[in-house]
Structure 1
């Protein structure tokens, strides 16, 4: 398959990268070229179906995450604040970009105009930047919770610090998206005398060097550098856990806290792995195409499939975090079942049992004080202390996705 355009982008029309003799409008060619109608292509049906699933799962999942955070006070901790930021960024790109971009495999031309083209490219870059650097901040928070727990901020200090870091992440991601605002435009090409419009992020007057610079910039800033930082952080965490005391050598309360923090660390690591997998094919294709002088001649079915896979996975990442949370977090799964499936969960019964047990302990303690005796008084103190320990353990770790509010179908 011959390929003869100056450059391409993951958001441009499939025909632009698939058929030869395509030219800019200013240098239009009248040479007939092989052309397969959109209704005869597999991707015409496959890609919009995938994007429809991404939209539905992403809106419901991320919307549910946001709802859980604001409706349940006990869910408002440091890790969940970062996860809220991830959900907002993912929901933003799903609502503003996915419906617009999905049509490029259905229609010949970009139908939305230059303004939506620019906003689509910008929000895509903004979401990627917020996602990867929020994951980096989450990894740093796990480092502080596991390796340096005594130095970790708590209470209002932790809240202020988290909000400050989150705002910085959004500002930095917005700054990284400025090239998309500056460069995105509607590019006109001609194929078989038909004028085709595509949303294109690299102005041709800037030359190939500009496109290469943006591609390598995105690869480093949105992928390589943050993932290397996360790898270093988790390497230190792993070393600390290996060298830490055996669980049997510490008390039960500390065991529970360590297990909770490890579970959250594993959850964050799962988010990072999903992000790395989803964006790797896209970066590989872009680097190959823009830095290979013979890319136009070497473009074949393999690279076309890789480009489509990368295109879909890069947007699928916006709906994977709620799915991952549903799989690894019992608390989120119960909230998710409550709001989306209208199903009450066992956590309500567990919470009610704990409350009744706590009330019983309080009542018994009061009775013992009213009718003091040496035997009952000593038993009261011992039992009250034991039950209090159980209640404290059931409140969970402040650093985890933990909430013991009553859950019912509302």
Structure 2
């Protein structure tokens, strides 16, 4: 029995459209995440606690884009898997690793934002920064450990083709000889990487909202203190909105994928054109999630936007960027508190993102 050429292409529109979409994802993801990482690492004013988590998030996305996207781009193009067993295992390992880093980092960011809002006067010392780095490393280790089963069970298997005496190599991310493994795996991943983290994030955001509401009720009626307090509340809300935007992007990008997987493994209805299109859209969205966060920061953070303009558009004379001073709303939170107290010389600059 011979081997059918795995590079044989399909005849559907997805065979062309998906690689084009992944090419755009690859280019945008490298530019966006690369610029974000460079901005934080090479500008001291940007090295703060929330940005440590954001850099960790971008490194995971960048790793997925560099290694996994080029191979995953052809899943709907080639009829087989032509890249070998090792690449099959590496591909699914990195997908789960990046997913874990993303969702666990977003959870940590939400908790960090809650702690800052509850106790805004707490100092972020070098010890706190070191603690944040340790948490980020722990998240990577946890995500890697949870991704190991995918690396173990993923494999390339030669599947006999009907009507011809040939086999086609297919990459599976589950053991084909274990009954119902896929069903349990989908349920576990849905709980670990989606449902539970989003519930935790929602709880902390509800607690954040309560603190902000109480802060507004306790605000002085008039005078300089009232203005300072109002600016502080606005700054805290701005930071929380940035983190929430990341969470919403993650939920929107991953929910269609989980809906499809739940339908596929637990519903016996017919596989029709709607579900084929839904599968492809959900698959693409999971990788789009790895390239959109830097651009969300561009639109939501004035400070990041200034650095992005500096690095990405420095060769374009028409693009102007103002002084790279900490003038965004989130930096203003520090300055307003500093102005409110003449005795406070050092305040929580690391609490402000962007």
Task: Give the TM-score, by structure 2 length.
Answer: 0.85
1:260 is matched with which residue: 210, 228, 235? 235
- Match of 1:175? 145
- Match of 1:326? 298
Larger Cα Rg: Structure 1 or Structure 2?
1
- Match of 2:329? none
**Number of corresponding residues:** 328
**Change over 3 Å in CA distance of 1:349–1:163 after alignment to 2:** closer
**1:195 partner SS:** strand
**Change over 3 Å in CA distance of 1:254–1:156 after alignment to 2:** farther
Does structure 1 residue 40 correspond to structure 2 residue 14? no
Q: 1:259 offset after TM fit, Å?
A: 2.1
Q: 1:251 offset after TM fit, Å?
A: 4.3
Q: Retained in 1: the 8 A contact 2:50–2:109?
A: yes
**Change over 3 Å in CA distance of 1:349–1:84 after alignment to 2:** closer
Distance 2:325 2:47 in 1: 21
**Change over 3 Å in CA distance of 1:54–1:115 after alignment to 2:** same
Distance 1:350 1:157 in 2: 25
- Match of 2:203? 232
1:161 is matched with which residue: 131, 143, 147? 131
Q: 1:155 offset after TM fit, Å?
A: 1.1
- Match of 2:350? 398
**1:207 partner SS:** coil
Q: Retained in 2: the 8 A contact 1:334–1:345?
A: no
Question: In the TM superposition, what whole-angstrom CA distance separates every residue of 1:102-129 from its partner, at most 9, and x where no partner exists?
Answer: 1112222211100011011001000000
Q: 1:288 offset after TM fit, Å?
A: 1.5
Question: In the TM superposition, what whole-angstrom CA distance separates every residue of 1:233-261 from its partner, at most 9, and x where no partner exists?
Answer: 10111122122235564444443333222
**2:350 partner SS:** coil
Distance 1:350 1:139 in 2: 26
**1:186 partner SS:** strand
Does structure 1 residue 307 correspond to structure 2 residue 253? no
Distance 1:58 1:396 in 2: 31
Distance 2:95 2:123 in 1: 33
1:69 is matched with which residue: 36, 40, 45? 40
**Change over 3 Å in CA distance of 1:167–1:211 after alignment to 2:** same
Distance 2:278 2:81 in 1: 22
1:59 is matched with which residue: 13, 30, 42? 30
Distance 2:78 2:101 in 1: 30
Which stretch has the larger CA shift, 240-249 or 211-220?
240-249
Question: In the TM superposition, what whole-angstrom CA distance separates every residue of 1:144-203 from its partner, at most 9, and x where no partner exists?
Answer: 0112335x5511122022111111111111111011011000022224424322211111
- Match of 2:322? 347
Gaps of 5+ in 2: 327-337
Cα RMSD (Å):
2.7
> After superposition, where does 1:239-318 map in structure 2 within 5 Å?
239-246=210-217, 249=221, 250-292=225-267, 294-295=268-269, 298-318=270-290
Gaps of 5+ in 1: 1-24, 29-36, 352-387, 403-410
**2:201 partner SS:** helix
**Change over 3 Å in CA distance of 1:153–1:178 after alignment to 2:** farther
- Match of 1:19? none
Q: Retained in 2: the 8 A contact 1:257–1:396?
A: no
Does structure 1 residue 196 correspond to structure 2 residue 148? no
- Match of 1:4? none
Distance 1:114 1:153 in 2: 50
Q: 1:41 offset after TM fit, Å?
A: 1.4
Which stretch has the larger CA shift, 158-167 or 82-91?
158-167
Does structure 1 residue 211 correspond to structure 2 residue 182? yes
**1:124 partner SS:** helix
Distance 1:198 1:39 in 2: 14
- Match of 1:120? 91
1:88 is matched with which residue: 59, 65, 72? 59
Q: Retained in 2: the 8 A contact 1:278–1:317?
A: yes
Q: Retained in 1: the 8 A contact 2:249–2:289?
A: yes
